[in-house]
Amino acid sequence: MQISAKAIADLLGGKIEGNPDVLIHGPSKIEEGQVGTISFLANPKYEHHAYSTKASVLLVSKDFVPKAPVYATLIRVDDVYASVAALLRQFGDQKPNFQGIDKDAFVEDTAEVHAEVAIGKFSIIGKNAKVGQGTIIYPQVYIDEGVVIGANCILYPGVKIYKGCQLGDDCILHANVVIGSDGFGFAPKPDGSFEKIPQLGNVIVESKVEIGANTVIDRATMGSTIIKAGAKLDNLIQIAHNVEVGENTAIAAQAGIAGSTKIGKNCLIGGQAGFVGHIQIADGTKVQAQSGINKSIKKENTAIYGSPALAYNDFLRSYAVFRNLPDLSKQIKALQEEIKHLKASQKAE
């Protein structure tokens, strides 16, 4: 694929400075730019690369003022990151190398599969399952009995969707995602062993949700575990039974959410954050990476940090004291010695 700088500018609604006819065959990082690639400058920390990059075209903000000559053709845009996202979609919009239902796929006779789908080798579509128009199912995907998959979804290799779970339209599930595994429900017995509690619910993933590789979402004990529309889940996330994740909430890798916790909409949750069960997190909450949340957050748009988590600014102030504890300890001991000598001097008088 080759595209001119002018065509890119037209696509992004940007303004060109330089050669509009230069041809681009792909994107590159600004520090690794090569002739024929397009890169971008959004973070001022990388500005020095703008003056040395070999990239042929550079996306910059409309208010960028170069401090030295820039040899790349510039395309000035209102929002660099949004423009990069649009551009990467353009370069990355590639169809799989298979169409229709592969002869080595297995589709139950009672399954309802739209005529316009792609199902790869060794994938299995179970009894009474439904697959919507335009959905792409890569090889070695397992769709269990009664599963409903909406239109224009992409399921990458190794995805497993258990019985009765539902997937909305325009969802992307990356490799080895598991939807609907049993929730972690066990009742302790008098002899110290555990009795498994049947998990009879399902998982509902609404539309425009993206789920990263190796993430697991457990089915509800009763009712549904729900991932609401527009949520974005990174790799290696554990979501337990009866959890709800709100609209347009983003959760980074290795986070864990215990059973029946409700996460609000538009929340941002950092990597390795952990939530205890049966709490509620208000809309717009921001959770710093590695924080441990052990109680409900009731005020919207709160930023928290630490384990157990505190208000973000309170944690920073506390940490400023904590990291100085060794020096503070020495100062206290010195003061104690000084007080001891002063008392001894007073007694001597």
Mean of the pLDDT values across residues 131-145?
A: 98
For the chain, give every domain's residue range.
3-92, 100-313
For residue 3, the cross-strand partners are 24
Tens of pLDDT, residue by residue over 179-198, are: 999 999 999 999 999 999 99
pLDDT, residue 166, reads 98
What percentage of the chain exceeds 70 in pLDDT?
Answer: 99
Per-residue pLDDT at 38: 95
Alpha-carbon separation of residue 160 from 35, 173, 180, 181, 274 (angstroms) = 42, 10, 8, 9, 24
Q: What is the DSSP letter of 67?
A: S
User: What band does 346 get if pLDDT is binned at 50, 70 and 90?
Assistant: confident
Q: How high is the pLDDT of residue 321?
A: 81
Ranges 36-45, 208-217, 307-316: which has the least confidence: 307-316
Q: Establish whether 241 is a catalytic residue.
A: yes
Judge contact between 140 and 157, C-beta under 8 A.
yes
Count the residues in the chain. Answer: 349
Question: pLDDT band for position 230 (50/70/90)?
Answer: very high
Degrees to nearest 5, angle at CA 237 with 231 and 240: 90
Residue 329 is predicted with a pLDDT of 86
Q: CA nearest 157: which of 214, 89, 204?
A: 214
When pLDDT is averaged across residues 205-210 and rounded to a whole number, the result is 98
Scan for tokens 């206290």, then name that residue.
Answer: 332
- Pair 152, 173: CB distance under 8 Å: no
Residue 92 pLDDT > 80, yes or no? Answer: no
Residue 299 clears pLDDT 90, i.e. is over it: yes
pLDDT, position 349 = 66
Q: What distance in Å separates the CA atoms of residue 198 and residue 250, rounded to the nearest whole number?
A: 30
The region, left, alpha or beta by phi > 0 then psi within -120 to 50, assigned to residue 8 is alpha
Integer Cα distance of 91 and 75 in angstroms: 17
Work out the burial of residue 63: count CB atoms within 10 Å of its CB; fewer than 13 is exposed, 13-18 middle, 19 or more buried. exposed
Give me the catalytic one of 49, 174, 241, 278: 241
* Mean pLDDT for the stretch of residues 233-247: 98
The domain made up of 3-92 is a member of CATH 3.30.565.10: no
Domain formed by 100-313, architecture: 3 Solenoid (2.160)
Among 64, 68, 83, smallest CA distance to 13 is for: 83
d(CA 111, CA 127): 5
Provide the H-helix boundaries in the chain: 5-12, 47-50, 80-92, 312-322, 325-348
